[in-house]
Amino acid sequence: MPIATYDQYCQMLDRAKDGGFAYPAINIVGLESLNAAMQGFAEAKSDGIIQVSTGGGAHATGAMKDMALGARVIAEAAHVLAEKYDVLIALHTDHCHPKNLVPFLDPLIAFSRERVQKGLPPLFNSHMFDGSELPLAENLEISVKYQKALAEMNMLLEVEIGVVGGEEDGHDTSGVGKEKLYTTPDDMVTANEALAPLGRYMLAATFGNVHGVYKPGNVVLKPKILRDGQDAVQQKLSTDKNPLYLVFHGGSGSSQEEIHETLGYGVIKMNVDTDTQYAFTRPLVDHMFKNYDGVLKIDAEVGDKKAYDPRAYLKKGIANMKDRVRQAVTDLKAEGTSMLHA
C-alpha cells in the first residue's frame, strides 16, 4: 500500500482518538531502521508513523551531513517500500528547532510543493516545528505561518508548547527550569485558538516527559495535565471530549499505567526512539563479543568473512528493532487496528 493519503492519515488519527489507542512514531536513520519499523507495523497489523529527525537526516547523507537531503532520501525510499506492505504508513519529521527551519524544514516543504504541482502527493504527511524554546507568542506566530503553508498541500503540522527535558539530536534542555516541563491549560487553550481555525494539527504538550532513559523516580510525569488542558479547550469551545490531538514525547521508561492513562486523554501519537536505538544495537554488541576472533584479523589471521560482513550483524539489529516496534504497538493498544484489516 502506498504511503497514506491525507484523508487516510486524518482517519488514522481519528480512529486512534476514538478507539483509545495511539500510534508509535518510530525514528529512523536509514534503510535498516526503515525496514525494521515497517516490518514491525506489518506483523502487528497496525498502521504507523515513521519519522526522521534533523540528526537522522544528516546521518543519512554521510560526510555531507545534509539534513534535508537525507530526510528526502529516506522518505523517497519509504514511498517505494511502503507499497509492499499491507498497512498504512505516514511519514513525519521530528523536532525541528527554530535554527533548523531554513536548512531542514524549508527545503522539504519546497520539495513537497514541487511534487504537488506535478500532481504527486507531498513527500511527507506532516512536519513538526518545535518552538518550545521561544516565548509562546513567538512560537505560535511561526507555527501559524507553517501550518498555513502545509495546509495548502494537505499536510499537518505538529507543534510543541512547554519543554521536553533532556537531550536529543544535540539539543539539550537539561538546564531548563522544572516548571517549563509542564504545559498549562491556559497555554493549550491559547495554542488551539491560534491553530484550530487553520485546520487540523497535532500538539505536543509537556507533562514532565524527558528525552532519553532515566532510572525510576528521576522523571515525574503528571498525565492529568493533559486531561486538564483538554477540559479547558472543551469548555472554551463547547466541543466533544478530548478535542486536541496530543503527542507524547520522551516516553522511554514510562510505566504502562502512565502510558495508558495518557491514551484516555487524547494522545494519538507517541514518539519512540531511545528504546528502538537500544534494541537495534544490543544484538550487534552480542555478535561482536561472540565472534571476536571472526570480526577481527588477529595475529595475522584472516578472520571470518561471514562474521564481519555487515549483513551478518545488521540483520540481527533489524530483527530485534522490529520486535521492539511490535512491542510499542502492543503497549499503545494499536495491535490489529490497521484500516486495511478492518
Query: Percent of the chain at pLDDT above 70?
Result: 91
Residue 65 belongs to domain spanning: 6-341
Q: Output the pLDDT for position 164.
A: 59
Question: pLDDT-derived band of residue 293, with 50, 70 and 90 as boundaries?
Answer: very high
- pTM of this structure: 0.92
For residue 261, is it within any domain?
Answer: yes
Measured over the CA atoms of residue 86, residue 72, residue 33 and residue 259, the dihedral's sign is negative
Q: What Cα–Cα distance (Å) separates residue 152 from each residue in 157, 267, 322?
A: 12, 25, 35
Q: Is 240 a catalytic residue?
A: no
For residue 22, is it within any domain?
Answer: yes
Question: What CATH code is carried by the domain that includes residue 108?
Answer: 3.20.20.70
Mean pLDDT throughout 181-202?
Answer: 94
Among the residue ranges 16-20, 107-111, 215-219, the one predicted with the least confidence is: 215-219
Return the axis-axis angle of helices 31-43 and 274-290, rounded to nearest 10°.
110
Q: What total of structural domains would you count in the chain?
A: 1
Active-site hit among 7, 14, 18, 94: 94
For residue 276, is it within any domain?
Answer: yes
Q: Output the pLDDT for position 213.
A: 52
For residue 256, is it within any domain?
Answer: yes
Mean pLDDT throughout 38-54?
Answer: 98
For residue 81, is it left (φ>0), alpha (ψ between -120 and 50) or beta? alpha
Mean pLDDT throughout 90-110?
Answer: 97
For residue 187, is it within any domain?
Answer: yes
Mean pLDDT throughout 313-336?
Answer: 98
Mean pLDDT of the chain, nearest integer: 92
**Residue 212 in contact with residue 251, Cβ under 8 Å?**
no
Supply 226's cell numbers: 493533559
Mean pLDDT throughout 209-223?
Answer: 63
For residue 313, is it within any domain?
Answer: yes
**Residue 201 in contact with residue 158, Cβ under 8 Å?**
yes
For residue 215, is it within any domain?
Answer: yes
Mean pLDDT throughout 137-161?
Answer: 97
For residue 1, is it within any domain?
Answer: no
